[in-house]
Amino acid sequence: MAPRARLSVPTNAALSHSHRLSPSNRDVYKALSRLSRPSLLSLALEWLSDSNLQHCLPYTLADEDQDDADDEDAPYSAAQSIEELTEIYEELRGRKDSKREIIDRIMEGDWRRGISLYQLAMAETRYVMEHQSSQKWHALRLTSIRDDDSGHDTEKREEEELPRFRQQTFLQNLQREIGPFAKAHHYFMRDEELRISLLRVQLYDLPYNSSQALQDVALAKRGPSEGAKSVYAVFPDATAYVYVSLGSSSNQPGTDGKSLQRIVIDAIPKALSRPQARYTLKTTALSAKSLPSLLALRGSGRSNTASGGWSIFVEDSKGSNALDYAESASNDILTPADNKENMQHGEKRRLETIGETNDVQNRKRWKRIAEGRFGRPGLECDGHGIERFEVRIDDAFPKSDDGKTIVSRKRDQPEDRIDGSHQKVVTKTSSKSGRKKRPSLLDKTQNDEMDESREANSTWKPDVRILFHGAHVFAGIRKLVEQGVVDGEKMPGWMTGEAGVSIGVVKHGRMMAKTDAAL
Amino acid sequence: MDVLEDAPTTPLDREIASIRAEIAALRHRRSLLSTTLLSDHRVRDRIQRAKTNRSRRAISSEALERVADLAEKQERRNVENAYRIGAGVTSFKVQDPDPHAVDGGRVLGIRIEVFDAQTKSFGTPYYVFLNRPYGAEGAMRVHKHTVPPHIGIKNVVHKYLPQEGKQDLGRFARMLRRELVAHQKRVDSIEGLKVEAELPEAGLESIKATDISAREMVITWNDGCTGRVKIGKDGSIDGVTVREEGANTQKVAGTRRRGRERAIAGGDGRIEGVIRRLLKEGGW
């Protein structure tokens, strides 16, 4: 009797960790080659560790005996045992082989039968965690749906708590949501240092969850819009925030891929919901590339709503301890708290306009002002950068006869030249009837339009949008203040990053972020 | 020996380091001495007397002014600290540096002290800053704060500082402090449990809070059992499961150990006594 072919039945189940992708798969090669040499080696050793081994079995002599394959052709001989393999990779650390050779060894030697989905996921998340600026993260917030309902029931609201996050239950629920649309592979990773859990969902557009189907689809469809789509979600401990990144492992996903990723993101709050406690994700108007900056602004610490100059209170420097009676010790050490006070005294003094003399004293004063306004963050090296900061000014245009603008600039030194490499300010002015390119969070709502028509004619409100763009926008603005290009005293608060958003509307000189982050 | 290995290599570097350390120590001593002296009421009386009949003394008036100024500052500091220690919640005024800030940038700061039992000192205080966006008579609103999100300041604000209706700043501050202190107490008790868990007869491998909110802790036993304990805000035990190590496939959860669960949740049902109850239970 001929052996029965294994059945492939369409199913809603998730893809198994141990399904293998063929070594010729481009995703695999790409994922591995992105890693640096040392991290590639430690990844291989991690695969061989006891906890991961069951999903990452390498090709050893035992397999060779079973296969009785023509091992003369193979470029690498199979290892005797896992222990030997571990030793080989430990040894490789000290040697000087190129990264290319190690990848070859992995793909054609020790894992010649293919890299499992679990291994691929480990490789990709390792890359994401090592290059924390490689993805663009959007900070979202889990909100209870009950909150949105018209009934402002304060007693019920009081009991609102953060959803409890349990990995296995969450994955089960998530799979139930995603399953009917695509086959997914889930991988969870925990980073104790950052106190986050990272979820990677890789989507495959295929009906079966067998290993064969996976190989077929990987071989058949290699068009530009196909391939696997992955979504990353970060769950920081003890917060209601979720950071989402629409990573794509192979190619730019087409519309199909985008909607699949959308499904995953929509599924996250549903998977966290319980009966009587349903959640939805809302934007918090913050996206940035670096995870640390998101953790500072939407994390579990104290700094969420106290950024900019207020950050001095997050880690109190001077006189924080109520048992500390020393008063005079800090005479010679300038702490940020001191500067804050100095700045406030300075503010009261009327000083001549900036930009005439560039002497040392002015520089010192500017520096002090900058420290007072920006506090501790806003330094280039702090790694808490926001790359893109977009605002719409919703105030009436200043009258021409008083001639004052919020930001006074030196006429002879355009900003780009002073700090060109660091940051670029793009100011775009268009009339209200002008063509809008794409809908944005900044666009006026109907309410805004109605308010405007009521107070029309008396003032002129151009649609001004400012886009700050650079490696670390607020460090750039701080530098401009220190150079005296931007008047640090008249500068509005939103330019210090106080609002903690990356997109928002400025009204009456204050940031009206479309978010509930600041209560 | 270890210290020497860590120290910088060249003798010059070592010398610089030791001088730096000496400077720091001397500075500390100086501030300690000046604080003690200036806080002494007899010293203050003398300064006061010297100020009134200046002619007899040979001290320059400038120096005297400075000393008097310092003494006054120290006095203020002492009073402030006394309030901070005694009351736990203190307030101060802040000027918002933002030129467009509401209400002329007038901000009321509330400082909440929480005592940390491990370091035996007050930790960094939590701050809440309030302003009045609708004018001097309008309602207060939370402007900025440094309260971590797991505390749930939003709930306290909704209850005691609603935008419409009566606001009660005193109760707001008290309730917020209560939440913060409750959190600190949970953290402290888990730390206390950690110390107890080191006893060999407890048979525990580790005990720790799952995250900084200390609302849940994980206990692992030497025999492979894992317990998860849900902790209420006030430190009561809300729920507990103890399971044996799952089978190799990891998908199958181990059987539950009801005896241990009962021991953890029993008694007065508080986290402080968990280990003691487990020990009393004995063999399970």
> Which residue of B lies nearest to A159 if distances are taken between CA atoms?
B155
Q: Which of A189, A209, A214 is nearest to A201 (CA)?
A: A189
Residue A7 falls inside a structural domain = no
C-alpha to C-alpha distance for A10 and A242, rounded to whole angstroms: 32
**B212: contact with A, CB 8 A cutoff:** yes
Phi, psi of A270 (to 5 degrees): -65, -35
Domains identified in chain A, total number: 4
Q: Give yes or no for residue A439 having a pLDDT over 60.
A: no
Residue A462 falls inside a structural domain = yes
Phi, psi of A48 (to 5 degrees): -85, -5
Residue A13's pLDDT is 74
Residue B282's pLDDT is 63
**B153: contact with A, CB 8 A cutoff:** yes
Secondary structure of residue B38 in the 3-state scheme = helix
Q: Across the interface, do A160 and B154 touch by the CB < 8 Å criterion?
A: yes
> Which residue of A lies nearest to B100 if distances are taken between CA atoms?
A509
Residue B21's pLDDT is 93
| Confidence at B25, pLDDT banded by 50, 70, 90 | very high
Residue A288 falls inside a structural domain = yes
Alpha-carbon distance B67 to nearest alpha carbon in chain A (angstroms): 11
A279 and A370: one domain? no
A193 and A58: one domain? no
A81 and A122: one domain? yes
Q: Tell me: the pLDDT tens digits for A110-142?
A: 887 778 888 888 888 888 888 877 888 888 888
Residue B26's pLDDT is 93
Per-residue H/E/C for A396-440:
CCCCCCCCCCCCCCCCCCCHHHHHCCCEEEEEEEECCCCCCCCCC
What's the rounded mean pLDDT across residues A384-409? Answer: 66
Residue B176's pLDDT is 93
Q: Is-contact A89 A41, C-beta < 8 A?
A: yes
If you count them, how many residues does chain B have? 284
Q: Across the interface, do A344 and B95 touch by the CB < 8 Å criterion?
A: yes
Residue B175's pLDDT is 92
| Confidence at A227, pLDDT banded by 50, 70, 90 | low
What's the rounded mean pLDDT across residues B99-115? Answer: 87
Q: Name which residue leads in pLDDT, A5 or A369.
A: A369
Q: Which of A102, A128, A154 is the last residue of a domain?
A: A128
| Confidence at B23, pLDDT banded by 50, 70, 90 | very high
C-alpha to C-alpha distance for A379 and A230, rounded to whole angstroms: 33
**B171: contact with A, CB 8 A cutoff:** no
Q: Which of A217, A224, A212 is nearest to A248 (CA)?
A: A224
Q: Which of B1, B113, B11 is nearest to A322 (CA)?
A: B113
Q: Which of A16-30, A280-294, B72-86 bottoms out in mean pLDDT, i.e. has the lowest?
A: A16-30
A90 and A167: one domain? no
Mean pLDDT, chain A, whole residue set: 71
Residue A429's pLDDT is 42
**A237: contact with B, CB 8 A cutoff:** yes
What's the rounded mean pLDDT across residues B78-87? Answer: 87
Task: Name the percent of chain A lying above pLDDT 70.
Answer: 63
A35 and A178: one domain? no
Task: Name the percent of chain A lying above pLDDT 90.
Answer: 0
Q: Which of A297, A323, A341 is the last residue of a domain?
A: A297
Q: Which of A143, A152, A321 would best serve as a mutation to test chain B binding (most B beta carbons within 10 A)?
A: A321
Residue A292 falls inside a structural domain = yes
**A328: contact with B, CB 8 A cutoff:** yes
Alpha-carbon distance B283 to nearest alpha carbon in chain A (angstroms): 31
A474, burial (CB in 10 Å: exposed 0-12, middle 13-18, buried 19+) = buried
**B213: contact with A, CB 8 A cutoff:** yes
Which range scores top for mean pLDDT: A274-278, B19-23, B193-197? B19-23
**A301: contact with B, CB 8 A cutoff:** yes
Q: Across the interface, do A328 and B35 touch by the CB < 8 Å criterion?
A: yes
> Which residue of B lies nearest to A311 if distances are taken between CA atoms?
B146
**B49: contact with A, CB 8 A cutoff:** no
| Confidence at B181, pLDDT banded by 50, 70, 90 | very high
Residue A295's pLDDT is 86
- Residues of A within 8 A of B31 (CB-CB) are 326, 328-329
Q: Name which residue leads in pLDDT, A147 or A472.
A: A472
Residue A10 falls inside a structural domain = no
Q: Which two tokens stand for residue B219?
A: 């206990």
- Residues of B within 8 A of A315 (CB-CB) are 124
Please state the pTM of the whole predicted model.
0.78
Residue A229 falls inside a structural domain = yes
Nearest CB neighbour to A313, from listed B95, B97, B146:
B146
For β-strands B115-116 and B121-122, DSSP reports them as antiparallel
Domain range spanning residue A413? 388-428+439-513
**B39: contact with A, CB 8 A cutoff:** yes
A360 and A293: one domain? no
Residue A104 falls inside a structural domain = yes
**B99: contact with A, CB 8 A cutoff:** yes
Nearest CB neighbour to A519, from listed B100, B142, B159:
B142
Q: Across the interface, do A239 and B32 touch by the CB < 8 Å criterion?
A: no
- Residues of A within 8 A of B146 (CB-CB) are 302-303, 305-306, 310, 313-314
Q: Which of A297, A328, A347 is the last residue of a domain?
A: A297
Residue A333 falls inside a structural domain = yes
Count of C-beta atoms within a 10 Å radius of residue A264: 27
**A263: contact with B, CB 8 A cutoff:** no
Name the one residue in this structure whose structure tokens are 């006189």.
A319
> Cα A441 vs. chain centroid, distance in angstroms?
18
**B108: contact with A, CB 8 A cutoff:** no
A359 Cβ neighbours under 8 A, 6+ residues apart: none
- For chain A positions 489-508, those within 8 Å of chain B (CB to CB) are 489-493, 496, 498, 508
Q: Tell me: the pLDDT tens digits for A164-201?
A: 777 778 888 888 888 877 778 888 888 888 888 888 88
| Confidence at A100, pLDDT banded by 50, 70, 90 | confident
Per-residue H/E/C for A9-43:
CCCCCCCCCCCEECCCCHHHHHHHHHCCHHHHHHH
Residue A447's pLDDT is 60
**A191: contact with B, CB 8 A cutoff:** no
| Confidence at B59, pLDDT banded by 50, 70, 90 | low
- For chain B positions 223-282, those within 8 Å of chain A (CB to CB) are none
C-alpha to C-alpha distance for A471 and A422, rounded to whole angstroms: 7
Q: Across the interface, do A313 and B78 touch by the CB < 8 Å criterion?
A: no
A180 and A104: one domain? no
Q: Across the interface, do B100 and A320 touch by the CB < 8 Å criterion?
A: no
Q: Which of A388, A430, A334 is nearest to A138 (CA)?
A: A388
Q: Which of B72, B73, B115, B124 would best serve as a mutation to test chain A binding (most A beta carbons within 10 A)?
A: B124
Q: Write the CATH number for A399.
A: 3.10.20.720
Secondary structure of residue A172 in the 3-state scheme = helix
Q: Is-contact B144 B156, C-beta < 8 A?
A: no
- Residues of B within 8 A of A147 (CB-CB) are none
Q: Give yes or no for residue B5 having a pLDDT over 60.
A: no
**B167: contact with A, CB 8 A cutoff:** no
Alpha-carbon distance B145 to nearest alpha carbon in chain A (angstroms): 6
Q: Which of B27, B95, B98, B159 would best serve as a mutation to test chain A binding (most A beta carbons within 10 A)?
A: B98
A274 and A205: one domain? yes
A169 and A293: one domain? yes
A369 and A392: one domain? no
Residue B3's pLDDT is 43
Residue B258's pLDDT is 85
Nearest CB neighbour to B101, from listed A239, A328, A493:
A493
Q: Tell me: the pLDDT tens digits for B220-258?
A: 888 888 888 888 888 888 888 888 876 544 555 678 888
CB-side neighbour CA atoms (13 Å) of B227: 29
**B32: contact with A, CB 8 A cutoff:** yes
Alpha-carbon distance B123 to nearest alpha carbon in chain A (angstroms): 7
C-alpha to C-alpha distance for B61 and B67, rounded to whole angstroms: 10
| Beta-sheet strands, E only, within A91-195 | 115-116, 137-144, 183-191
Nearest CB neighbour to A343, from listed B27, B97, B125:
B97
Q: Which of A16, A55, A305, A477 would best serve as a mutation to test chain B binding (most B beta carbons within 10 A)?
A: A305
Q: Across the interface, do A160 and B148 touch by the CB < 8 Å criterion?
A: no
A443 and A478: one domain? yes
A291 and A321: one domain? no
